[in-house]
Structures are given as structure tokens and as C-alpha cells.
Copies of this chain bind each other. A is one copy, B any other.
């Protein structure tokens, strides 16, 4: 299996695709990204990086950041987090508020917006928003072993300016007592987290601890227990693509987390940490070419959690 050749071929196939989906346009900084771009980076267990296309171009990782925020929040407040957010697929769109009404302010899982806002609120515990954002940035830089990871403050401010649905979710959960801090602070952390800017290479490196049962390959120290690493992967598989999660599990067969910036982080336990990026989204809000590229990569490598 020549992975380097494979990723180059896939990047070249993706370059030829004409139906590239629609770029998220709710904030200017995302809307002006060209849909022509595609990047892929695969880091294998031995640390080799196989990359092709626009794999070094930084993009807004948006909801992919929910994986890192969840990891840090579990470290910070432990299993108590699960009293405030569930572990079930929602069956609804990423920004749906309907489920919160019948389930009294407890979001279905940490990867829909409402759940991620609860995670942001949990991260705040005892810290102020600025400090918390700094902690998260340092954590992601540590994971990626790369101080070039940034938070795009234009994106963060745009999110804050147009994020009325997110403010609605936060206020709604606050009404049910499921937000310990001020709505503004939880949202501030959330908006900055979503504004993390990384390249495919950085993102694939940051995701390695999920491939290695929680160990940070650079330092050999545990980021998280093996059990939590497996459980985060389970959540990625069942909930990582909003109401397209089942379809992704069915077609691609590996845990993944997508973002509206067009990025997807995918994990093959013991084998690979993969990042793909292409800004055009499908009708579920997941990267159209990113999903297709991962489907082809899984097919050609035989990577699947459902195979021996």
C-alpha cells in the first residue's frame, strides 16, 4: 500500500470534480474562501505524514474543534460533564433547538452546537473567557506540536455578530439551569474555539492521540485515558456529522468530525489520523469532497472500524 501515491491520486481526482457543494456563507470570512481548494493529510502510527493538495493551507476548523474542546473539558471536570450533555445522535440538524425543549435543556451530544456550548461552559469553570480561550489554543498547539495554530479573530467576531441561533441555544439552556457562566462568556469561548485556524497537516497531527489510545506521540505522555480516547471516537462515529452521521458511518466506516469550514478529522484506530478539507458543503453541512475523499481512501486502504 503506497499511501503517498494514494493521497496524491485522491487529491487529483478531487481537483477534477465539478460538483463541489456550497461554501458556508453566514459569515464573510467563510464565504470568500474558494471552493476550488482541496487538501488531505494522513499521519500514520509511525509518524509519517502523507499529504497532497492544499494540505498546508490554513482553514477555519469550526466544529472539528469540538473534539479538542471535549477532550480538554473531560480532563478538567471529568465524567460529571455527562450529567449536562448526552451521548446520543440527535436525529436533527446541527443547530436545532427543538430537542432541547422536550429534554429540558440537556443537549443530545457534545458535537451539536448546543452540546458544544455546554462544553465551553464547562471549560470556563473557575477561569475567565480570555484565559480559557488561551488554554484551549495552547492545548491544540501542544497536540499538533505546532505553535503556528491560530485563532482567527475576524472569524470569532463575525460568529459573535451573527450567531443569534447560538445565543438562542445558550439562553435556552441557561433557562433550564444548564449553563453555569454568563451566556456571553460561554458563547465567547465557543465562538473563539470555532475560529481555530489549522492546515490539514496541523489538524491530522493534532488528532494523533485518538489513534494512539490517548498518548501524545510527541511527548509519549497521555493526553487522555485509552477508554476516553475510544469513547470520543465512538461519539465521532455516531454523532460526528450531525444528521449525516449514520450515512458517514455507513459509507466510510471510520470515526470522523466535520466542520462547516469544510474540514473533517477522521481516525483509524492504531493506524492513522486523517484530515481532509474542501470548503463546499453537502446538504447536511458536511464537506462534500472531504466526505468523498475519505470514502475513497477507506475503500482503497481497506480501513474501516468494521473490518478485522
Contacts and interface: CB of A to CB of B under 8 A. Distances in A.
A24 B234 CA distance: 29
A296 interface: no
A164 to B, nearest CB: 4
For A101, A170, A183, the residue with the greatest tally of chain B CB atoms inside 10 Å of its CB is A101
Interface in A242-260: 243-247, 249-251, 253, 255
Interface string A162-191: 001101111110110000000100000000
A249 B238 contact: yes
A127 B246 CA distance: 31
A33 to B, nearest CB: 22
Interface string A140-181: 000000000000000000000000110111111011000000
Interface in A45-66: 45
Nearest to A89: B89
Given A98-B101, A234-B253, A164 B168 contact: no
A222 interface: no
Given A96-B101, A168-B171, A238-B237, A87 B305 contact: no
A239 B172 CA distance: 24
Contact of A90 (B91, B229, B234, B251): B91
Interface of A is mostly: helix
Nearest to A211: B308
Contact of A234 (B96, B243, B306): B306
Contact of A246 (B89, B230, B250): B89
A129 interface: no
A302 to B, nearest CB: 9
Q: What 10 A-B pairs come out closest when comparing CB atoms?
A: A270-B308, A91-B91, A89-B89, A164-B175, A88-B246, A168-B171, A168-B172, A305-B305, A230-B306, A233-B306
27 contacts: A45-B308, A88-B89, A88-B91, A88-B244, A88-B246, A91-B91, A108-B246, A164-B172, A164-B174, A165-B175, A168-B168, A168-B171, A168-B172, A168-B175, A213-B307, A230-B253, A230-B306, A231-B251, A231-B253, A234-B249, A235-B249, A238-B238, A238-B246, A238-B249, A269-B305, A269-B307, A270-B308
